Amino acid sequence: MTDAYQPRIQERSLDRDCTTLSRHVLQQLQSFSSEAQDLSALMNRIALAGKLISRRLSQAGIMAGVLGFAGTENVQGESVKKMDVYANDVFISVFQQSGLVCRLASEEMEKPYYIPENCPIGRYTLVYDPIDGSSNIDANLNVGSIFAIRRQEGSDEDGSASDLLQSGRKQIGAGYILYGPSTILVYSIGTGVHAFTLDPSLGEFILWQENIRVPDRGSVYSVNEGNFWQWDESIRDYIRYVHRHEGYTGRYSGALVGDFHRVLLQGGVFLYPGTLKKPEGKLRLLYECAPLAYLMEQAGGRASNGTQNILDVVSGHLHQRTPFITGSPEDVALVESFIQERDRIKEDEQLLTRS
């Protein structure tokens, strides 16, 4: 290596090291307007939450009160883990006295949480799943946090948060934090999808990949096949198809964020369809599926409930569930084609019985 090369390499790596999340948000918006400053500050607070959660997860085996159940159930009747409670509180704490967010709505809270001192100026709402895939924690496997930012519309004086019951097109930003071998934050504010890696020595998220594009198709199909017996025939048709064709590989970690991240980078499809026990599936629209659908669309992919784009689905209530199919455009279309085919057969059968 010649001496002439040295400074240029240093400059490049310095430039990369200095591309922190807050700087990146401002660059994306190409503005120092108050909204741009707000979004940059918001992302900074979300990153702080990610760092706090990441730190606690990394000490799970040695610190008391991290692993195991909290001994309570959430509004959806699911057992709450200690980390669910901690992470939910972290997101609230980082927004106290921030002047940024008036309301937070999460999987762990029946109703939105208000921070009244922020409300006169903080016209945003954060919707989030503090720990997604929390059943993975006790096995020291990957988990994630999912979030989206929405503008608060109307005064919401009655606290009903009915303005949150609008489609995913109302999101002005979304992302997730993946706590894996390294901690990665992926976000979009409508200008592509960008990923940052937490550098523990700096305590900063440093730019890793910009403008991520999902491949048009991929080999991965990611689904809990243990539910085969309780799926609709159309989903079984699709799974039979991938079993009988070369070029597919099954990958399922039990944590949506990890499975989604793999599909985002490598292509393929993630699906959690409706089941006999849960006809709407397991995943929640507002703070799991809509944020990830926003990212997937920004990356050139698709997200569907089988018949409709997830971003067009309007929530009936805060914790509404939805079937979820997302990933490479060609792979999502393939799953949908099996659903359409079965719908056609059902229609024909109905016509026959009527005639």
Site of interaction with ligand AHM (CB under 6 A)? 78, 107, 129, 132-134, 224, 254-256, 272, 282
- Residue 197, phi then psi, degrees to nearest 5: -110, 135
Q: Pick what 282 binds: Mg ion, ligand AHM, none; C-beta below 5 to 8 Å, kind-dependent.
A: ligand AHM
Alpha-carbon distance of 305 to 325, in angstroms, equals 6
Q: Which of these ranges, 14-22, 59-67, 122-130, 327-335, lies near Mg ion under the rule CB under 5 A?
A: 122-130
If the CB atoms of residues 89 and 210 are measured against Mg ion, the closer one turns out to be 89
Q: Pick what 262 binds: ligand AHM, Mg ion, none; C-beta below 5 to 8 Å, kind-dependent.
A: none
If the CB atoms of residues 129 and 297 are measured against ligand AHM, the closer one turns out to be 129
Q: Pick what 221 binds: ligand AHM, Mg ion, none; C-beta below 5 to 8 Å, kind-dependent.
A: none
Alpha-carbon distance of 329 to 221, in angstroms, equals 13
Q: How far is the CB of 273 from ligand AHM (least distance, A)?
A: 11
Out of 84, 108, 129, 331, which residue is the one contacting Mg ion (CB under 5 A)?
129
Tell whether residue 132 is a contact of Mg ion (CB under 5 A). yes
Burial annotation 240-272 (CB, 10 A radius, 16+ → b, else e): eebeeeeebeebbbebbbbbbbbbbbebbbbbb
Contacts 24+ apart (CB under 8 A), 252-255: 252/222, 252/223, 252/224, 252/225, 253/133, 253/136, 253/141, 253/142, 254/133, 254/135, 254/136, 254/141, 254/224, 255/132, 255/133, 255/136, 255/141, 255/142, 255/143, 255/144
If the CB atoms of residues 39 and 325 are measured against Mg ion, the closer one turns out to be 325
If the CB atoms of residues 123 and 251 are measured against ligand AHM, the closer one turns out to be 251
Which candidate, 278, 228, 291, 282, places its Cα nearest to that of 255?
282
Return the DSSP state at 314.
Answer: P
If the CB atoms of residues 19 and 136 are measured against ligand AHM, the closer one turns out to be 136
Contacts 24+ apart (CB under 8 A), 199-203: 199/17, 202/17, 203/51
Alpha-carbon distance of 234 to 305, in angstroms, equals 13
Q: How far is the CB of 282 from ligand AHM (least distance, A)?
A: 5
Q: How far is the CB of 260 from ligand AHM (least distance, A)?
A: 8
Tell whether residue 259 is a contact of Mg ion (CB under 5 A). no
Q: Which of these ranges, 28-36, 86-94, 126-134, 264-272, lies near Mg ion under the rule CB under 5 A?
A: 126-134
Tell whether residue 84 is a contact of Mg ion (CB under 5 A). no
- Burial group, residue 176, by CB count within 10 angstroms (0-12, 13-18, 19+): buried
Q: Pick what 254 binds: Mg ion, ligand AHM, none; C-beta below 5 to 8 Å, kind-dependent.
A: ligand AHM
Q: How far is the CB of 329 from Mg ion (least distance, A)?
A: 25
If the CB atoms of residues 24 and 282 are measured against ligand AHM, the closer one turns out to be 282
Return the DSSP state at 284.
Answer: B
Interface residues for Mg ion in 214-253 (CB under 5 A)?
none
Count the Cβ atoms, other than its own, within 10 Å of residue 81: 22
If the CB atoms of residues 129 and 336 are measured against ligand AHM, the closer one turns out to be 129
Q: Are strands 220-222 and 249-250 parallel, antiparallel or unpaired?
A: parallel
C-alpha torsion sign, points 101, 76, 169, 144: positive
Q: Pick what 224 binds: Mg ion, ligand AHM, none; C-beta below 5 to 8 Å, kind-dependent.
A: ligand AHM
Q: How far is the CB of 146 from Mg ion (least distance, A)?
A: 7
If the CB atoms of residues 80 and 92 are measured against ligand AHM, the closer one turns out to be 80
Which candidate, 94, 78, 157, 79, places its Cα nearest to that of 128?
94
Q: Pick what 78 binds: ligand AHM, Mg ion, none; C-beta below 5 to 8 Å, kind-dependent.
A: ligand AHM
Residues in the chain: 355
- Contact residues for Mg ion (CB under 5 A)? 129, 132
